Amino acid sequence: MKLEIGNIRVKELAFGDETTLSNGRVQINREALIEFVRGLDHRITEVALNIALPGEKTRIMPVKDVIEPRVKVEGQGIIFGGRRSGEAEMLGEGRTHVLKGMAVVTAGRIVGFQEGIIDMSGPAAEYTPFSKTQNLVITCEVDDTCDRYEHEAILRLVGLESANWIGKLAKEATPDEVETFETKPLIEQAQQYPELPKVGYVYMLQSQGLLHDSYLYGLDAKTICPTVLYPTEVLDGAVLSGNCVSACDKNPTYVHENDPIISELYKQHGKTVNFMGVIVTNENVTLVDKERSSNFVTKLAVQLGLDAAIVSEEGFGNPDADLMMNCAKLEDAGITTVLLTDEYAGQMGESQSLADSNPKGNAVISNGNANALITLPAMDKVIGHDSFADIIAGGFDGSLHEDGSIRTEIQAIIGATNELGFHNLTSIAG
């Protein structure tokens, strides 16, 4: 598959009388988008739109997902396809245009635990990549007939459909730059660079239930057996987030759309590695599911003829077992592994970092300690509800101070220890 991604750089985001894209300025008709969102489900009772820009004294919480607006220009399928009949064509080829530098952020309460935080300035802004994007924030509420699963599904729908609604602005635009990615069919790809090690990417998706889920072509990842994807499918919107928990290391949809491991492997493709493809797998909670999925991962890696695999985790705790199972079985099959994770090593960094370990996991990249403490100063504007600061993951009784400042662990910040290495945090030995 060959995919061209045309990036239209967004330099300014504002509300106005019409919804337009011109010279890097995206203008949104607030009333038109609110009407569109309300029309998505009759149980939506309130919709609020706000814009949060880099450098502003603005806090967004509790954030549920972050999505990059895109549109298919050439080729089959639609962005975020597979969710409805007639929209299940394969993604990953043709041409897609992107509103680069802009994000749609969904916020609001769903269940008892609420997360996470995006600060557009101050110390927390350094821990989230989304303090640098031009953010359209959608907060919506639903009526009391919805259970929490229906509430989550509605909020997920609102984010994805709003991003598609805005993304259509890019269809006729001239990109500032065009990137090209290509992976050939298996046998042809193996023969293209026979002298280079064949490397694959094992892409672990969180699949533990409400706010811990991910979706592949609209299908709940809990229900899949591991399968092989062209890397371009991921870059074209085949993988979605099922909203957010835990904030620091749950991959928002935006991160799936811009998977940095895939991007870096493509940069090395034909130079130091022969990038063969992506094995997508889940992180289910039962032992038999973990055994089945890790066995499938190893079988597929052998079938692809891999010499080595990069394995990225999503989440922490229970998925640590999946990470180690994947590692051990791949190593036993003669496939060298490199693991990407983050740590929960306590606020002083002195506790066991992962809930599971294996001596065969001897090449591990850490994306930081999520338990590290930080104080977030009060902001001039809060979009959403800061009253949840005491109960978000990373918060504790007394986290929210009377002056509006928050004392919390960095795991409350969206993307702080992203396990794909999407942001800037890592760990060093010593």
pLDDT for 350 equals: 80
Give me the residue label for tokens 């916020």: 107
Is 244 part of the annotated catalytic residue set? Answer: yes
Residue 74 half-sphere exposure toward CB, CA atoms < 13 A: 8
- The answer to whether 27 and 116 are in contact (CB under 8 A) is no
- Tell me the pTM: 0.95
**pLDDT in the model for residue 391:** 55
Please tell me the predicted confidence (pLDDT) of residue 394: 64
pLDDT of residue 317: 87
Residue boundaries of the structural domains of the chain: 2-412
Q: What is the pLDDT of residues 268-281, one digit of tens each?
A: 999 999 999 999 99
Which of 157, 136, 154, 133 is CA-nearest to residue 145? 154
Residue found by looking up tokens 């409350």 in the block: 412
Rounded Cα gap, residues 199 and 335, in angstroms? 9
- Say if strands 239-242 and 308-312 run parallel, antiparallel, or are unpaired: unpaired
- Determine the pLDDT at residue 367: 93
Q: Which one of the listed residues 140, 146, 225, 244 is annotated catalytic?
A: 244
- Give the type of residue at 98: V
- Residues of the chain where predicted confidence (pLDDT) is lower than 70: 111-115, 209, 211, 244-245, 386-396, 426-430
CA-nearest of 222, 233, 387 to 290 is 222
CB 384 within 8 A of CB 61: yes
Residue 294 confidence (pLDDT): 98
Strands 63-67 and 102-107 turn out to be antiparallel
Complete DSSP assignment for 308-356 = EEEEE--SSSHHHHHHHHHHHHHHHTT-EEEEEEEE---TTS-S-SSS-
Looking at residue 323, its amino acid is L
**pLDDT the model gives residue 116:** 86
Strands (E), 10-101: 12-15, 20-22, 25-28, 44-52, 58-61, 63-67, 70-74, 94-100
